[in-house]
Structure 1
Amino acid sequence: MNFEMIKAAAGRLDGHARQTPILSSPFLDEIAGRKLMVKPECLQRTGSFKFRGAWSAISALSPETRARGVIAFSSGNHAQGIALAAREHAIPAVIVMPNDAPALKIANTKGYGAEVVLYDRPGGESREAVGEALARERGLTLIKPFDEPLVIAGQGTVGLEIAEQSQDGDVLVCCGGGGLTAGIALALAETAPKMRVRPVEPVGFDDMARSMISGVIEKNDTGTGNICDAILTPQPGEITFPIIQRLCGPGLVVTEQEACRAMVLAWQHLKVVAEPGGAVALAAALFHADKVEGPTVTAVVSGGNVDPTLFAETLQRYG
């Protein structure tokens, strides 16, 4: 995994992924106590940064391998990214999704043309085992959601854009398995070394933050039970963790309530729809300003695929 792979991914993504803007608001600056730059990857195709990694990985396959089709496991955002990238390459895609994933994400994945296979996440069924068995049975190429170099390379293109659009200071990134965090950190280490990446996680699922402290990969006690479904992963990736440990600053942790408040503020002042897991970095910038360094902070809103009912309830409760 290296910077050259990110540059190559940027070339393959040219004309297919959107370059998302940097947004700001004086109201949010006041809350954060500094200039706050927001990178809304919720405006990316399929509503999250995951399209970048999906296209990067699929487009790099040989024509013969790609034609057989791909398989992925995901709670929703990687699923949608793979489904659309596969459709635009005219190849089959099978997505293994948890049966408690948001209905909108399951519907969207099917809408992009993928076959969805549900597994029992609350019951402890392994998505990896289901995915690997189907891959062997059907001859599909498994594209992991974060612990895959070509996926990390695609996510790293977010960092290339931040280096051009933002300023020095901490860059806060919503973190599950660490693909986006690792990719941005690798990109900024080469293009904007004064910017420091910080992974942000929800309370109870802070495996990356704990791993960075202990120096070894730590696991979460459970895979469910938090509103931030997009970033609930069992543990950091074997590939992503060493990159993050080497290049990133300490992890930050936010509550569900803080994520929800950030969703509301993003809607009110940026006119941006963020899902809970996609809003944790913004929440850290707004409500944990004492733990952030520099006169400027950049927060990545990683996704906006929120259930409409949940979004309406969040606006009503926290607005």
Structure 2
Amino acid sequence: MTELTARDVQDAAANLEPVTARTPALSALSLDQAASWPVVCKAENLQRTGSFKFRGAYHHASSLPAQERARGLIGASSGNHAQALALTGRLLEVPATVVIPADAPAPKVEGVRALGGRVVTYHRGSEDRDALVADLATQGGLAIVPSANSRHIMAGAGTVALELLAEHPEIETLVIPVGGGGLAAGSATIAKHLYPGIKIIGVEPEEGADTLLSMRCGQRIALPEAPVTIADGLGHSSPSPLTWAVNSKLLDTVVTVTDQDITTAMAFAFRHLKVVVEPSGACALAAVLRGLIPHESGTIGVVISGGGVDLPTFQRLIDHPAHRKARAHV
């Protein structure tokens, strides 16, 4: 792959403009006070299908030769990319198959089926999802749409930062969750092009710090075991090759947050920003609230990447004694 460029992201923005929602940038005085700096949050939980993933999935699939995509699309995901792929298939009028963990959150699976996607489940730890995807693709002549490891996926995801920085050019530090790495790679590419001095901080769950450990080692590494974290969308064992090539050069640093940090951020977003955020989507905000972001001046930009969580799970995660105590003082 040739180097990902700002032009790739700008071209993706033009392609996506008719089909994506221009999500709002949220702010609150209480958030500024908690962070000790002005903060704006790009609310991709309000994107179509509930996460930023639709941007990359649609851009990748719509960029395929028509004859290739007409046979159908297939991809693997813990849920958000799956819903994005299902909607993409619906809009492009081609069948979409998604391979999802058997324990994926029910709303995400139901969302795929509601959009007309075919669901194939697999068991984490005992089945190789990539091999399953490859087999199904070969059998059906389907085009694989990766969740992160694609130039078009990265470019589409990078439109999140392009929109945010267009509205808030005063941002001096951009904080982004890192799972497969597509969002971080695309966002860092366009952000560093527009504002070379901007800092890009990646955030991972403590139990799934594959990008952080890879950066420390200077090469891609694989975690010895599959990560166990409530941030299921960020539970990757190793960075994707293409995203790693970008992120290893452009991310200024990567920090980690605990599951408790994440649920605290979810509760904070609900109370003060009036939005429902899934665990993976709350990681960047969690790092800001914990004071983990190296920042010296200006505004902090935060990407809230998704909102795919059902009500019982959301209530269970935020119903912690510390959160109840905080509510009592609001």
* Same fold flag (TM > 0.5): yes
Mapping 1:1-319, distance limit 5 Å: 1-123=4-126, 125-166=127-168, 167-289=170-292, 291-317=294-320, 318-319=323-324
- 1:262-287 Cα distance to aligned partner (Å, 9 max, x none): 00100101111100011000000111
Q: Distance in 2 between matches of 1:134 and 1:293?
A: 50
TM-score, normalised via structure 2 length: 0.93
Q: Identify unmatched segments of 5+ residues in structure 1.
A: none
Counterpart residue type for residue 65 of structure 1: E
| CA displacement at 1:37 relative to structure 2 | 1.1
Measured in 2, the distance between the counterparts of 1:68 and 1:245 equals: 35
**TM-superposition CA deviations, 1:271-317 (whole Å, max 9, x none):** 11100011000000111246344332111000000121111122322
Distance between the aligned counterparts of 2:243 and 2:174, measured in 1? 17
SS at match of 2:261: helix
CA offset at residue 217 of structure 1? 0.6
Answer yes or no: is the 8 Å Cα contact 2:201–2:293 preserved in 1.
no
Contact kept? 2:53, 2:81, Cα under 8 Å: yes
Residue aligning to 2:328: none
Shift of 1:23: 0.9
SS of residue matched to 1:132: helix
Q: What is the rounded CA distance, in whole Å, between the counterparts of 2:117 and 2:38 in structure 1?
A: 41
Aligned length: 318
* 8 Å CA contact 2:74, 2:142 repeated in 1: yes
Q: What TM-score comes out, normalization by structure 1 length? A: 0.97
Distance in structure 2 (CA, Å) of the matches to 1:127 and 1:64: 26
Structure 2 alignment gaps of length 5 or more: 325-330
The change in CA–CA distance for 1:75 and 1:216 in structure 2 (over 3 A counts) is: same
Question: 1:87-127 deviations in whole A, cap 9, x for unaligned?
Answer: 0111000100111111111111111111000011142x111
The residue identity in structure 1 corresponding to 2:109 is I
Q: Give 4+ residue runs of structure 1 displaced > 4 Å after superposition.
A: none
TM-fit CA distance, 1:193: 2.1
Helix, strand or coil: the match of 2:207?
coil
Deviation at 1:223, TM superposition (A): 2.2
Equivalent residues of 1:122, 1:224 under 8 A apart? no
SS at match of 2:25: coil
- Which AA in structure 2 matches 1:214? C
The CA deviation at 1:214 is 1.4
